[in-house]
Amino acid sequence: MFIDEVKANLNDCIRPFWIGLMDKENGGFYGRKDFDLNLYKDAEKGVILNSRILWFFSNSYLTLPNEDDIVCANHAYDYLVNHCLDKEYGGVFWSTNYDGTPLDTTKHTYNQAFAIYALSSYYDASGKQEALDIAMGIYNLIEEKCTDEFGYLEAFDRTFQPVENDKLSENGIIAEKTMNTLLHVFEAYTELYRVSKDAGVKEKMIRILDIFAEKVYNPELKRQDVFFDREMNNLIDLQSYGHDIETTWLLDRGVEVLGDKDIAAKITPITNALTEFVYELAYKDDSLVNECENGVVDTTRIWWVQAESVVGFLNAYQKNPDKTEYLDAAKAIWGYIRDNLVDERPGSEWFSEVDENKKPTSRKDIVEPWKCPYHNGRMCLEVIRRSKSI
């Protein structure tokens, strides 16, 4: 029932919704649909949104081959290559206007990572060598322009001169480095290494895992720290439960792709501890609360946090089959999503968030630069892929 319901949500809700947002006139996919389901055809098109759509349809095609998926992936790829890539200075822009002209020309490491992630999967789905070549080019650009002796720098102008990192900073501070960006660089490099087996990418993946183990993971509090200065010193008392559970399975996936027992011995205890602590602290009422800052818990139930927790707990159960409470949690959270976050209105998909009373009172957009089929679509694909061991 669990697997069938997830598969039905993918095929009957998520895929048709995003197929319907294809902009056949200007390319790419429409960038905004508000809470009342008004479509804004002239809204900006976030490059993160477009990259995540490219990733989603590529992986949907690889998992459940459907001609519509590769058509959508081709459409997203054409837009990324023709409108989002900066032909003069390299990398991808932050956003474009609705017609494909550059809007926000900021270069952010987070954004570059998602382009790599999407292009690598698209190469696997399409066989287009050009896609892999572009992904490797952006990887080389990150390593050349966006690194220092402590890790990965994040925010730059169009010419890769450093600027304030306001796009990935929250909670009232400006962080030079973030756990979030580092996680998604690792995620991107995992996919790039999977399809390329490039030795340099492998070396950088190992370096990032060392940073997670030595700087990001807080062994005393059994959590990840979130915001850092340039030298990777923690800036705030904050635990992001969604990022912690997402990290568990993304690091495990990277370790699996690397296939190194010594690395696994170093990282697996960390991902196990993170999972256990999130389960103890944040799993409430068949769902995950959002975060805890200075001891104050934000009880909002956010769409992507719930999606990642399904995968994270399912991954933890598969590593430790005796811990059936993790499988029970994954199924229960899916039930919460099904009953409260999936928007049953025609022409909609999932609500962005609901409050303690399970109501979408914030009325956040159904589609915007960060709201995409990446987290929830990926959850569905991961459940399908892992279904034999459930």
Q: What is the pLDDT of residues 235-294, one digit of tens each?
A: 999 999 999 999 999 999 999 999 999 999 999 999 999 999 999 999 999 999 999 999
pLDDT at 274: 98
Residue with tokens 């809007």: 103
% of the chain at pLDDT higher than 90: 98
pLDDT digits (tens, 9 = 90+) for 41-89: 999 999 999 999 999 999 999 999 899 999 999 999 999 999 999 999 9
Q: Residue 51: how many CA atoms within 13 Å on its side-chain side?
A: 28
By the 10 Å C-beta count (0-12 exposed, 13-18 middle, 19+ buried), 288 is classed as buried
Computed over every residue of the chain, the mean pLDDT equals 97
Q: Please list, in sequence order, all residues whose beta carbon lies within 8 angstroms of the beta carbon of residue 40, skipping any fewer than 6 positions away.
A: 30, 31, 32, 33, 34
Tally of CB atoms within 10 A around 235: 18
In the prediction, which pLDDT does 299 show?
97
For residue 182, the model assigns a pLDDT of: 98
Give the pLDDT mean for 106-130.
Answer: 98
CA dihedral 47, 250, 322, 387 (to 10 degrees): 50
What is the pLDDT, as a whole number, of residue 65? 84
CA–CA dist 390, 179 (Å, integer): 31
Determine the 3-state secondary structure of 355 from DSSP.
Answer: coil
pLDDT at residue 286, as a whole number: 98
- The CATH number of whichever domain residue 301 belongs to comes to 1.50.10.10
- Can you give the pTM of this predicted structure? 0.97
Q: pLDDT band for 388, please (50, 70, 90 cuts).
A: confident
pLDDT of 389 reads: 76
Give the pLDDT score at 298: 97
Over 90: is that where the pLDDT of 102 sits?
yes
| Residue whose C-alpha is closest to residue 367's, from 378, 351, 354 | 351
DSSP string, 311-348: HHHHHHHHH-TT-HHHHHHHHHHHHHIIIIIB--STT-
Nearest to 133 by CA among 256, 141, 155, 45: 141
Q: Average pLDDT of 178-207?
A: 98
Q: Is the pLDDT of residue 159 over 90?
A: yes
Q: Tell me the residue range of the domain where 248 lies.
A: 2-389
| SS3 state of residue 234 | strand
Q: What is the pLDDT of residue 1?
A: 87
Give the pLDDT score at 377: 98
The tally of domains found in the chain comes to 1
pLDDT beyond 80 at 390:
no
The CA angle 210-201-216, to the nearest 5 degrees, is: 25
pLDDT at 343: 98
